[in-house]
Structure 1
Amino acid sequence: MLLQTDRQTDRQTDRQTGIELLRIVTMLMIIGLHYLLFGGPLFHAKGLNQKLAWFIEAFFFVAVNCYVLISGYFLVTKKNFHMKKIASLWLQVIFYTIIFYCMHLYFHPSFHWKDFFHVVLPVRYEAYWFVTAYFGLYLISPFLAHFAHSLTKQQYLRFLAISTFLFGFYSFFRPESDPFKVQGGYSVLWFIVLFFWGGYIRLWNLSMPKGKALLIYSVSCVFTFLSSWPVHWLLKMEGFKNGKFGLNGFYNYNSPTVWLASLALFFVFYKIEIENRWIRTLILWMGPLTFGVYLIHMNQHVAQELWGHWIHVSHVYSGSSVLLFWHMLITVLGIFLACVLFDWLRLRLFQLLAPWGHSIWDFFAGKIRLLGR
């Protein structure tokens, strides 16, 4: 009996390791997306290099969806409202907005109250679009989890079908009007849909063979890549306006191919078994730090310096495709590792201050509970 329990624990650890590995891979993909966009290859490269950039973009575009799927997978079992975790998330965001704003002021002394409020209220003023949407999802996740647990399997499937059709397919194919304000998937509404997909995988143990999942992921991404030119032509022929979320081909988070590829990639990593204990330990240590990687490299002040002064991609994408590929790989890995180390130092600092912060938060949490009575 003890041996069976140990094996079940090992399988659960392997599954968690696979999902944490996917979290790491998706953050690497997100940095790659920013390399292609802010570095310039998507819109400023010519010929083969530009096609290569859009091809890689199609395979990386699933990253945000996968990251939210992972959150849904873990959060669907947490039906209680934990104010400390919400405060921790908020403090992590504010820590980086404040520290990088202070560094910016040191090199560029020009204080404005408007900028200050943007720094201390980053979610309110959308310092990061992803954080604003994710924070909204995180706040309501306990209620979403309660709803998910109340559904039968058939009811859950019908709910997924309807919500995916309305906020995914229908909204995607109506980019000129955006009837449900999904904004191409750049919104909390689409994140909620992904939350329920991740929750369904967790609650009803949905799975797919890795080989089949990898095939679906690859075919879907290739179709995303091939779709852009004919879709652009078709939408223009239909008279659709070239808005912020229109005329992108299938390069939108709520497009059918990106949604399908996101689910497929999740299943590629879902049940990966990693035998090496050191590698498993490294993955489980690094996975939770990936959110900090996003907060660091996409901070507006860091991003301006990163892509404007520190990393020069223009001389690379004007050369050979091989050079572009290797430059991108080394750059993405370098940014990721530097940010992981930085966020680990931030985590250590928070742990040192934990006793003080814990007591302060308990005081305010107690007052909030009294108001709710």
Structure 2
Amino acid sequence: MSNAITPPKKQRSSNIELLRILTMLGVIILHYNNADIGGGLKYVQNGSLNFHFLNILESVFICAVDLFVLITGYFMINTQKRSLIKPFKLLVQVIAFNLMIFFLLIIIGKKAFTLHGLLGTLLPANYFVILYTALYFISPYINIAMKALNKKQLKYMIITLFLIFSVYAVAVDLLGEIKGDTILGLSSIGMYGSQNGYTIVNFAFMYTLGAYINICESDYIHISRIKLISYLAILVGVDSAWYLLFEYLHFCKGTAHSYLNPVVILMAVAVFFLFKKIDLGQNKVINTLAKGSFTVFLLHKEFLSRIRIESFVNKPLPILAAHILIAVIGIYLICWIVYFIYESITAPIYNLIEKKFPRVTYIVDSSITEKR
């Protein structure tokens, strides 16, 4: 998703670009397991070694989306400049790929042409893109509010947001899972609960958390790699055990792998700090591969439904592990090639637009706050 969340134009840090690649590979793994997409956890024999392996992978990578948004906040706290064409390009890319997939399926005989189907492809219905676009436009005002606070106030603000929009919200969802029904009107997120973090509330919180890390990084940078790895291992263990416990009790297991689960959010923080400690300099291969991650996000589901996951999840563990590894790397590389072709076609068009209409950016003035 690097198209969506790249920092202001400057030399890209390859450690963070590598983190983007790995988290995108993680998203593929999450959807490999997803019952409605790849079906890994749907088809695997419950309680088997493969089941536990997939569950651990799920817990390891469940913080991927939170990480993408956290990275955005970390870098964009330092700029009030926003491009009007950037979110437009994202929405156009969603529509372009919808159309490409729609007509490709018609050509190979997997789908019949209908006007209703065609009109549906013209809607950029992608939760990440829509929420990111909303966040992109409100983020300068979040920056102004954060810069008006001192470090102590920022710390209390983050703790307050964390308790209200993560701990409390998940506790309500947890009660609903135990009760066997959604508890209406009790959540701090919305009438029908937290939606597992698929909301602007969670996106705004993760952005704010990333911005806070940037501002107060010196207070936490002393944490060693060993401690971070230990914290991460404990958090993954807790999340995995949470899922297994609810599986055993026959409860709904959504909270274990919710994006606003406090365990998942803390995982994202630990992973980010861990990669900040890695010095890779400027690696052209990593930086180039990372550019295609948003295209991978848009297209990878089309491949997961065609790699016979149900035929591999109950094979011996080494075969399953090999299938996952080959699948995620292969899908990423194929999607990157599509990105390269798409970028080669569209880049000259967007360059021309930006030359013809130079005022496609705006800056939210923060001078009043800075004077205070």
Give the TM-score range, shorter chain. 0.7 to 0.9
Q: Distance in 1 between matches of 2:43 and 2:210?
A: 37
- Deviation (angstroms), 1:217: 1.1
1:184 aligns with 2:196: yes
> Helix, strand or coil: the match of 1:311?
coil
1:115 aligns with 2:79: no
RMSD: 2.4
> Helix, strand or coil: the match of 1:151?
coil
What is the TM-score of this pair, normalised by structure 1?
Answer: 0.81
What does 1:99-138 correspond to in 2, within 5 Å?
99-108=100-109, 110-122=112-124, 126=125, 128-138=126-136
Identify the residue that residue 20 of structure 1 maps to in structure 2: 17
What does 1:1-373 correspond to in 2, within 5 Å?
16-37=13-34, 38-46=37-45, 47-108=48-109, 110-122=112-124, 126=125, 128-175=126-173, 176=176, 177=183, 178-181=187-190, 182-205=194-217, 206-207=220-221, 208-231=223-246, 242=252, 247-274=253-280, 280-298=283-301, 303=302, 306-308=303-305, 310-359=306-355, 361-362=357-358
Identify the residue that residue 9 of structure 1 maps to in structure 2: none
> Helix, strand or coil: the match of 1:81?
strand
For structure 2, the residue ranges without an aligned partner over 5 or more in a row are 1-9, 177-182, 362-372
- Deviation (angstroms), 1:13: 5.7
- Deviation (angstroms), 1:98: 2.4
Q: Distance in 2 between matches of 1:219 and 1:294?
A: 28
- Cα distance change, pair 135–117 in 1 and its aligned pair in 2 (3 A): farther
**Of Structure 1 and Structure 2, which has the larger fraction of its residues in helix?**
1
- Cα distance change, pair 143–112 in 1 and its aligned pair in 2 (3 A): farther
Q: Distance in 2 between matches of 1:172 and 1:336?
A: 32
- Deviation (angstroms), 1:233: 6.5
Contact 1:289–1:340 under 8 Å retained in 2: yes
- Deviation (angstroms), 1:62: 1.2
- Deviation (angstroms), 1:234: 7.1
- Cα distance change, pair 183–201 in 1 and its aligned pair in 2 (3 A): same
Opposite residue 79 of structure 2, the aligned amino acid is K
Identify the residue that residue 180 of structure 2 maps to in structure 1: none
How many residues align? The count is 330
Identify the residue that residue 370 of structure 1 maps to in structure 2: none
> Helix, strand or coil: the match of 1:173?
helix
Q: Distance in 2 between matches of 1:227 and 1:212?
A: 22
Q: Distance in 1 between matches of 2:244 and 2:159?
A: 29
Contact 2:196–2:255 under 8 Å retained in 1: no
Contact 2:164–2:188 under 8 Å retained in 1: no
Residues 89-130 of structure 1, C-alpha deviations (whole Å, 9 max, x = no match): 2222222222222323334563444433432221xxx3x222
For structure 1, the residue ranges without an aligned partner over 5 or more in a row are 1-11, 237-241, 367-373
Residues 31-83 of structure 1, C-alpha deviations (whole Å, 9 max, x = no match): 11111223322122112211211111111111111111111112222213321
Opposite residue 189 of structure 1, the aligned amino acid is V
- Deviation (angstroms), 1:255: 1.1
Greater length-normalized contact order (CA 8 Å, ≥ 6 residues apart): 2
Percent of pairs with identical residues: 25
- Deviation (angstroms), 1:293: 1.0
Structure 1 residues 249-258 or 318-327, which shifts more?
A: 249-258
